[in-house]
Amino acid sequence: MFTRKLQRRIYVATGVLLGSIGLGLSFGAYVLWPSHREAGYEPGQPIAFSHKLHAGDLSIDCLYCHTQADRGPHATVPELAICMNCHAQVQPKDKAGKLKPDIARLLDHWKRGEPVVWNKVNDVADFVYFDHSRHVKAGVKCQECHGPVETMVHMRREYGLKMSWCLGCHRQKPKPSDPAYQRGDKTRAPINCSTCHR
Ligand code: HEC
Ligand code: HEC
Ligand code: HEC
Ligand code: HEC
Ligand code: HEC
């Protein structure tokens, strides 16, 4: 009798324990899984494109590739035609005279007319209104929001795109060079809810 009861208790206790370990693990995975992490998300890319090489060492202007950043809501990722402005000629080879693999992949996509599908790094919640050109025209540097891109071999998300992050900047006191200062506003940018939730 006694041992039966004890046995059942042990079963129940073990079940509860295993259940909570399972819950804990899945919650942990949800929180720690890169796409749910606030900052530092760094997905793999189909071609190893380096911002350090192109925007750093070669000093190519951000807007040469992200052509819409100062014109519209989306900065846009460049089409292959922009890469081919250079890579029609620039085709580095290894010591054996074979095309470097990432360049070979690039040329292969170009020949087949098939765009490269880059993995998205920054993604703000869909119900939030965001516009690049408003920021770029107001003199906010790409690096204030994306970090030192010109040093990144692999693109990573520098900041979590949370409401507190947006507001942290909008609430700052404007500097004399900011349009807000010239308008006589007390904050660098508007902080009323309808600015970002329309
Ligand atoms: C030669 C073209 C080129 C130049 C110059 C360039 N980029 Fe990029 N950029 C790309 C490509 C291609 C991708 C997509 C692959 C990747 O994420 O690495 C990208 C991705 C990005 C992303 C991530 C996009 C996302 O999915 O969230 C950011 C942010 C970015 N670039 C910012 C910059 C900034 C800032 C500069 C200037 C300092 C710059 N880029 C210069 C080609 C370029
Ligand atoms: C303004 C010229 C220019 C543009 C535009 C450009 N590149 Fe490059 N890229 C270079 C140069 C120069 C190198 C270095 C070549 C070398 O190592 O000899 C290079 C190197 C690379 C490499 C490294 C190859 C290796 O393994 O060593 C990759 C990959 C690459 N580029 C991809 C791209 C992609 C993708 C784009 C378009 C989004 C692009 N490039 C746009 C000039 C350019
Ligand atoms: C005020 C902050 C801020 C500034 C300044 C900024 N970005 Fe972004 N960027 C973002 C956010 C937020 C996203 C995610 C947007 C989304 O999911 O719709 C993003 C996304 C991107 C993307 C992915 C494609 C897209 O448009 O969604 C690229 C590329 C990019 N930015 C490049 C740039 C470049 C280049 C500059 C400077 C010329 C720049 N950004 C300036 C905040 C900024
Ligand atoms: C590093 C500073 C900075 C960050 C981070 C930032 N912003 Fe801004 N934002 C500004 C500035 C400065 C302006 C004002 C532009 C002007 O005066 O025209 C602005 C303007 C705006 C506007 C237009 C406001 C209007 O007048 O209608 C929107 C919308 C906006 N931001 C949304 C966002 C969202 C959403 C985020 C976060 C994902 C964000 N911003 C992050 C600096 C920032
Ligand atoms: C400068 C831009 C900006 C302003 C101003 C702003 N929000 Fe947000 N809000 C965001 C962003 C970005 C998110 C998405 C956060 C995320 O993905 O975690 C968000 C998310 C939210 C959410 C969803 C819950 C959450 O926290 O993720 C609520 C509710 C909300 N905002 C309410 C408000 C209210 C109320 C105001 C006015 C007092 C306001 N917001 C002003 C940018 C803004």
DSSP letters along the chain, please? -HHHHHHHHHHHHHHHHHHHHHHHHHHHHHHHSGGGSSS------SS---HIIIIIIT---HHHHSTTTTTSS---PPPHHHHHHHHTT---B-TTSPBPHHHHHHHHHHHHT----PPP-----TTS---HHHHHHTT--HHHHH-SGGG-SS----S---HHHHHHHHTSPPPTTSHHHHHT-SSSS--SGGGT--
- Confidence at residue 11, expressed as pLDDT on a 0 to 100 scale: 72
pLDDT, greater one: 26 or 105: 105
pLDDT, greater one: 191 or 34: 191
Closest CA to 61 of 43, 85, 90, 40: 85
Global pTM reads 0.91
Please check whether residue 26 lies inside any domain of the structure.
yes
58 pLDDT exceeds 80?
yes
Residue nearest atom 23 of ligand 5, based on CA coordinates: 163
Residue nearest atom 5 of ligand 4, based on CA coordinates: 166
Please check whether residue 96 lies inside any domain of the structure.
no
Is 180:189 a contact under the CB 8 Å cutoff?
yes
Q: Of 5-9, 50-54, 83-87, 167-171, where does mean pLDDT reach its minimum?
A: 5-9
20 pLDDT exceeds 50?
yes
Average pLDDT over residues 26-38: 53
- Confidence at residue 34, expressed as pLDDT on a 0 to 100 scale: 47
Q: Of 7-11, 96-100, 132-136, where does mean pLDDT reach its minimum?
A: 7-11
pLDDT digits (tens, 9 = 90+) for 115-136: 999 999 999 999 999 999 999 9
Please check whether residue 180 lies inside any domain of the structure.
no
Calculate the alpha carbon distances from 142 to 99, 114, 133, 181 in Å. 33, 29, 11, 20
Please check whether residue 131 lies inside any domain of the structure.
no
138 pLDDT exceeds 80?
yes
CA 42 to chain centre: 7
pLDDT band at 13 (very low <50, low <70, confident <90, very high): low
User: Ligand 3: distance of its center to the CA of 23 in Å?
Assistant: 35
Please check whether residue 195 lies inside any domain of the structure.
no
pLDDT band at 9 (very low <50, low <70, confident <90, very high): confident
Structural domains of the chain, count: 1
Q: Which ligand is nearest to the CA of 131?
A: 4
What percent of the chain stands above pLDDT 90? Answer: 80
Residue nearest atom 3 of ligand 3, based on CA coordinates: 145
Please check whether residue 7 lies inside any domain of the structure.
yes
Please check whether residue 41 lies inside any domain of the structure.
no
- Confidence at residue 68, expressed as pLDDT on a 0 to 100 scale: 96
User: Ligand 2: distance of its center to the CA of 113 in Å?
Assistant: 19
Please check whether residue 15 lies inside any domain of the structure.
yes
Domain around 18 = 2-32
Nearest-angstrom CA–CA distance, 24 and 68: 43
